[in-house]
């Protein structure tokens, strides 16, 4: 009986993963984005066209992130956050892609 329940549960989890992946793929389509929208703590602070390169320090009370657009893709070049997850993230250029720096509550979203 337990064995059967286990497989039902694992089957249900698999279905949820597949469903979530499909929904996300539909919502965030694989389109080339046109601009990078930067927000701090949920508030949009800046928009940068992906056609033009830039290098911009984003300062907040939590610290800094150096935001870069180069060859149509956005990334974080440098930051003083503890885990450097935003710096290690690959450059983003497609619609819906994001780079998040949780400690600084800083989000780059491609639109």
Partner 1 sequence: MAKKTALMGMCIALALVLGWLESLVPVVPPVSGIKLGLANVVSIFLLYRMNYKEASVVALLRVLLSGILFGNFSMLLYSLAGAFLSILLMSLLKASSKFSVIPVSIVGGIAHNLGQLIVAVIIVENGVLFYYLPVLILAGAISGALIGLLGALLIKHIPDNLV
Residues of this chain that interact with partner 1 (CB under 8 A) are 1-3, 5-6, 9-10, 13, 16-17, 20-21, 24, 28, 39, 41-43, 82-83, 85, 88-89, 96-98, 100, 102-103, 105, 107, 109
Q: Least distance from C-beta 57 to partner 1, angstroms?
A: 20
Paired tokens of 54: 């830039």
Q: Least distance from C-beta 107 to partner 1, angstroms?
A: 5
The Cα 29–Cα 25 span in angstroms is: 6
- Given the complex with partner 1, which of 5 and 52 has the nearer CB atom? 5
Query: What DSSP string runs through 17-69?
Result: HHHHHHHHHHHS-SPBPSEEEEEETTEEEEEEETTS-EEEEEEETTEEEEEEE
Q: Least distance from C-beta 42 to partner 1, angstroms?
A: 3
């Amino acid at each position: 009986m337990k064995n059967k329940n286990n497989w039902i549960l694992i089957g249900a989890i698999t279905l949820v993963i597949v469903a979530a992946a499909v929904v996300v793929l539909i919502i965030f389509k694989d389109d080339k984005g046109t601009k990078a929208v930067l927000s701090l703590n949920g508030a949009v602070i800046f928009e940068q066209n992906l056609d033009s390169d830039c290098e911009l320090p984003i300062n907040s009370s939590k610290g800094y992130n150096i935001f870069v657009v180069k060859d149509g893709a956005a990334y974080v070049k440098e930051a003083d956050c503890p885990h450097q997850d935003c710096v290690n993230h690959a450059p983003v250029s497609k619609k819906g892609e994001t780079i998040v720096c949780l400690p600084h509550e800083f989000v780059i979203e491609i639109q």
